[in-house]
């Protein structure tokens, strides 16, 4: 009897693993059109002719993460700015410069992203982005200095994930700029407004395999970004990241039960554009407010998903928030 039950269990597991493997390898990345996504071409219009120089900060595995620093005033908090999907820290060059008298500003190029030659194209394990951010704080925060983390889009999702993870106690506050919550959250538009294409069949297969601790295929791409050809063919085209592996994409977003990560946030302010093409801005307050009373939600009327970073109203709100620390 026991043998028969064990046999059925083994067969069931075997069939599940075979199905999962078939799902993984019967869907592949394809060429994106470069049309209909977010207006990333606007990033090329920004003046980044003289950005803060790149510096390297050693991580726990010896990898030297590239960061830019701004500011240096006394008695101010540390502010870590986390960029969104596909781009890098230069997204924040103007904002960071304008906040330099309010905080010691650190802007990393997360692994798999950046403008430095020879940057690593992926991460090694799920959760490594959180470890890297913790290592930055450990290396650069002054004794007893309050730590604020801010992120845009997927970067905001990473801030939420960080708050709900093992390093969350490091944070004293957070700023969320149109953050990604979850693909099933009420804030989500289909394909983020045409910005990405998700290989859902492959994600399902890899999720099943990871349930059985099979991680050998986590390097495979599971999401592609519809980056405009004008960007890819421009002077910063080779700094764009056009696809994420399973482990990178998983690490760059709140966990499956995203509201648990939201509930772990410290005091925060969330800013979303009234003209956001990727997310439904009006749904942030009711969705997140159901699990936390630590947040303030501000609608930036007329601002698009990308424009919110450099909107003067964003700068003013962030300055006021930083003054509270």
pLDDT at position 176, please? 98
Q: For the chain, what are the domain ranges?
A: 36-323
C-alpha–C-alpha distance, residues 130 and 126, integer Å? 9
Enter the pTM of the model: 0.93
Q: What residues does 295 pair with on adjacent strands?
A: 268
C-alpha–C-alpha distance, residues 90 and 108, integer Å? 9
CA–CA–CA angle 83, 89, 93 (5° rounding): 110
pLDDT at position 119, please? 62
Residue ranges for the chain with pLDDT beneath 50: none
Of the candidates 68, 78, 81, the residue with the CA atom closest to the CA atom of residue 156:
81
Q: What is the dihedral of CA 222, 226, 227, 232, to 10 degrees?
A: 80
pLDDT at position 218, please? 96
The owner of tokens 């994106």 is: 32
pLDDT at position 197, please? 85
Token pair for 20: 């999962």
pLDDT at position 45, please? 60
Axis crossing angle, helix 154-164 with helix 128-140, rounded to the nearest 10: 80
In contact, 281 and 273? CB cutoff 8 Å: yes
C-alpha–C-alpha distance, residues 92 and 36, integer Å? 24
36-323: CATH topology is: Rossmann fold (3.40.50)
The owner of tokens 């990178």 is: 248
């Amino acid at each position: 009897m026991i043998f028969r039950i064990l046999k059925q269990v083994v067969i069931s597991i075997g069939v599940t693993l075979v199905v999962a493997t078939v799902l993984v390898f019967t869907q592949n990345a394809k060429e994106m059109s470069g049309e209909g996504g977010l207006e990333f071409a606007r990033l090329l219009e920004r003046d980044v002719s003289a950005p803060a120089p790149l510096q390297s900060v050693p991580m726990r595995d010896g990898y030297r993460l590239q960061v830019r620093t701004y500011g240096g005033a006394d008695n101010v908090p540390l502010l870590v700015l986390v960029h969104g999907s596909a781009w890098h820290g230069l997204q924040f060059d103007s904002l960071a410069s304008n906040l330099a008298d309010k905080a010691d500003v650190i802007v990393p190029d997360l692994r798999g992203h950046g403008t430095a030659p020879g940057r690593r194209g992926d991460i090694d394990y799920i959760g490594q982005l959180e470890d890297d951010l913790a290592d930055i704080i450990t290396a650069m925060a002054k004794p007893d200095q309050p730590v604020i983390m801010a992120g845009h889009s997927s970067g905001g999702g990473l801030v939420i994930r960080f708050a709900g993870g093992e390093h969350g106690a490091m944070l004293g506050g957070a700023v969320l700029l149109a953050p990604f919550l979850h693909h099933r959250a009420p804030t989500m538009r289909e394909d983020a407004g045409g910005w990405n294409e998700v290989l859902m069949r492959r994600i399902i297969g890899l999720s099943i395999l990871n349930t059985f601790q099979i991680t050998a295929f986590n390097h495979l791409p599971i999401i592609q970004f519809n980056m405009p050809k004008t960007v890819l063919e421009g002077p910063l085209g080779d700094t764009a990241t056009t696809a994420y592996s399973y482990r990178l994409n998983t690490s760059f977003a709140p966990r499956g039960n995203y509201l648990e990560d939201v509930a772990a946030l410290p005091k925060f302010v969330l800013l979303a554009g009234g003209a956001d093409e990727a997310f439904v801005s009006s749904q942030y307050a009711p969705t997140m407010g159901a699990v936390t009373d630590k947040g303030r939600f501000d609608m930036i009327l007329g601002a698009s998903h990308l424009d919110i970073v450099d909107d003067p109203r964003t700068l003013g709100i962030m300055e006021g928030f930083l003054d509270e620390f």
